[in-house]
Homo-oligomer: A and B are copies of this chain.
Amino acid sequence: MLSIHDMPGHLIRRLHQISTSVFADRVAEAGHDITPVQFAALATIEANPGIDQATLAGLIAYDRVTIGGVVDRLEAKRLLERAVSPRDRRARVLELTPEGKALMAVLRPVVVALQDDILPGMTTKEKTEFLRLLAKTAAAGNSLSRAPLSLPE
């Protein structure tokens, strides 16, 4: 009898829960209030200034509606600016504000550092192997997700 506790789906959820909890703790310790998706959005906009919301959603694998809400909140925090695209009046182009860039400069090392703490209880070797398989299966299952990763051509 396969118990809930041994099912891959349940274990993945648990690990995700641990991951987001560690993220929240470390970011709060650093004195900031940013969620994982907000960080992902800011990092992607910083690397792709002028990106529109739909492309951003594809790059970080979220649906457009969720990203619309995330961008709302980042705009309210004055971390980014949103403007109608001059090339396509449907689209909104995004840019980090100076405050957004300053926050990323502070937060990026914090977030990079905490990545090492979200896979506890494994040896370095095991961690490497786990990450290899994790990347492999996430890539293989991409199209199964509701909001697949979509890189612009």
Q: Could you list which residues of chain A lie within 8 angstroms of chain B, going by C-beta atoms?
A: 2, 4-23, 25, 36, 40, 43-44, 60-61, 111-112, 114-115, 117-122, 126, 129-131, 133-142, 144-147, 149
Contact = CB atoms under 8 A, between A and B. Distances in A.
Given A8-B118, A9-B118, A12-B118, A17 B147 contact: yes
Provide the main secondary structure of the chain A interface: helix
Given A17-B61, A144-B22, A134 B44 contact: no
A133 B135 contact: no
How many monomers of this protein are in the complex? 2
Contact of A122 (B36, B40, B133): B133
Given A21-B145, A120-B140, A120-B144, 12 more contacts: A4-B43, A9-B19, A11-B131, A11-B135, A15-B134, A18-B145, A22-B144, A117-B144, A119-B137, A120-B137, A121-B139, A121-B140
A32 to B, nearest CB: 16
Contacts of A25: 144
A150 to B, nearest CB: 12
